[in-house]
A = this chain, B = another copy of it.
Amino acid sequence: MRKVNIRELAKELKISVATVSKALRDSHEISEATKKKVVEMASKLNYTPNPYASSLRKKNSKTIGVILPEVADSFFSLAINGIQSVAELKGYHVLIYLSHDKYANEKTIVDDCSSGRVDGVLISISGETCNSDHISKLQNENIPIVFFDREFEGFDTARVITNDYESGYLSAIHLIERGVKRPSFLSISSCLPICKKRVDGFADALEAAGIKKSKQYNPVIYCDGNREQNYQQIKKLIKGRYAPDGIVASVERIAMQVYLASHELNINIPDKLKVIAFSTLETAPILNPSMTTITQPAFEIGKMAAEILFKGIEKTNFDLKHELVIIPSMLIERASTEKRS
């Protein structure tokens, strides 16, 4: 199946390339009769327009870039589905970039996006990102940017996030109401706004409840090493003399490690340790024990972020800076925080 270009197609039809181009784009300048002939011949000769020639001339790519820390997490899998569902509808292509939660990677990726390769960018920043110069540079190229879930705080563009502070607050209250005296919050980053806000809410709830930090009790713990380091750290924590009797896992990955560690050390959940996790894990209800979660509307966040991005791309007068959508998470109570008498 040889590939024909628009010139050969035009020659075959004995009309000009301009006419062919316009006919295929359904221009009003072209008569219905000609359009019909062109479309038929195009399909007969198996003509497909070269997307890069078209992008070059039109100065758009019908492509968006999606920058994620990783895709292992079920949150981002769901978010990709949300994004893709609207991209598909709009006829856009989706370029996936993974930062592996490293700032250096993220910078390289963002720079690549400023080459005109994409018409817009959806980004969830890495846990290491404490500087936004690379994103500013992208914005200066007039490329629409929407943060989803993991925003860079203070950066002036659209963002679609969830109610992290309230959820953090709620997670603490939930544990305290169920008899937890020494709850610990396991965070993964001190930069990441989602973590900071969750921690802030958590800490405020503790203060409201009169629970105080001490030498033996540290309510906020950072697990920012690699997987194995984190696992050892968690094991040490929950079997330690001053172990917490309740844990809030800031992300899915940490929640799973807490479960694994508890199983390994034979620490009963929820009797010895209550666990609540920020997670969209579908298996939460069938875990041993079923896990109480604060579930983010991952699909909706992705979908909404993409919708806003497309408005920014398609409407010239649409100002992304004023867009802020907060879609609330949901606390779903399960056995891992059950109160036993």
Q: Which residues does A use to contact B, with CB under 8 Å?
A: 1, 3, 48-53, 55-56, 61, 63, 70-72, 74, 77-78, 80-81, 84, 88, 93-98, 111, 114-117, 137, 140-141, 256, 259-260, 263, 281-283, 285-290
Given contacts A137-B1, A141-B1, contact A116 B77 (CB under 8 A): no
Q: In the docked arrangement, what's the CA distance between A311 and B63, Å?
A: 26
A70 touches B61 (CB 8 A): no
A50 touches B116 (CB 8 A): yes
Give the distance to chain B from A214, nearest Cβ to Cβ, in Å.
31
Which residues of chain B are within 8 angstroms of A263 by Cβ–Cβ distance? Answer: 285-286
Copy tally for this chain in the complex stands at: 2
The A contact surface, by secondary structure, is mixed
Name 19 A/B residue pairs within 8 A (Cβ), A-sorted.
A1-B141, A3-B141, A48-B114, A48-B115, A50-B115, A50-B116, A52-B117, A72-B77, A72-B78, A72-B81, A260-B285, A260-B286, A263-B286, A281-B283, A283-B287, A286-B287, A287-B288, A288-B289, A288-B290
Which residues of chain B are within 8 angstroms of A282 by Cβ–Cβ distance? Answer: 256
Q: In the docked arrangement, what's the CA distance between A84 and B96, Å?
A: 9
Give the distance to chain B from A78, nearest Cβ to Cβ, in Å.
7
Q: In the complex, what residue of chain B is closest to A62 when comparing beta carbons?
A: B117
Q: In the docked arrangement, what's the CA distance between A93 and B52, Å?
A: 15
Extra contacts besides A52-B55, A81-B98 (10): CB < 8 Å: A51-B115, A71-B77, A72-B77, A84-B98, A93-B95, A94-B96, A256-B282, A259-B286, A281-B283, A288-B288
A-B pairs, 7 with minimum CB distance: A288-B288, A1-B140, A52-B55, A48-B115, A259-B286, A52-B56, A52-B52
Q: In the docked arrangement, what's the CA distance between A97 and B84, Å?
A: 8
Give the distance to chain B from A141, nearest Cβ to Cβ, in Å.
6
Given contacts A117-B51, A287-B283, contact A80 B84 (CB under 8 A): no
Q: In the complex, what residue of chain B is closest to A50 when comparing beta carbons?
A: B116
Most buried by B among A1, A281, A289: A1
Q: In the docked arrangement, what's the CA distance between A288 and B287, Å?
A: 5
Q: In the docked arrangement, what's the CA distance between A1 and B141, Å?
A: 6
Give the distance to chain B from A238, nearest Cβ to Cβ, in Å.
15
Q: In the complex, what residue of chain B is closest to A286 when comparing beta carbons?
A: B259
Q: In the complex, what residue of chain B is closest to A88 when comparing beta carbons?
A: B98
Q: In the docked arrangement, what's the CA distance between A259 and B285, Å?
A: 10
Which residues of chain B are within 8 angstroms of A95 by Cβ–Cβ distance? Answer: 63, 93-96
Q: In the complex, what residue of chain B is closest to A76 when comparing beta carbons?
A: B77
Q: In the docked arrangement, what's the CA distance between A270 and B225, Å?
A: 37
Which residues of chain B are within 8 angstroms of A80 by Cβ–Cβ distance? Answer: 71, 96
Which residues of chain B are within 8 angstroms of A49 by Cβ–Cβ distance? Answer: 115
Q: In the complex, what residue of chain B is closest to A46 when comparing beta carbons?
A: B137
Q: In the docked arrangement, what's the CA distance between A74 and B137, Å?
A: 35
Given contacts A93-B95, A98-B81, A141-B1, contact A116 B283 (CB under 8 A): no
Q: In the docked arrangement, what's the CA distance between A63 and B52, Å?
A: 12
Give the distance to chain B from A253, nearest Cβ to Cβ, in Å.
9
Give the distance to chain B from A100, nearest Cβ to Cβ, in Å.
9
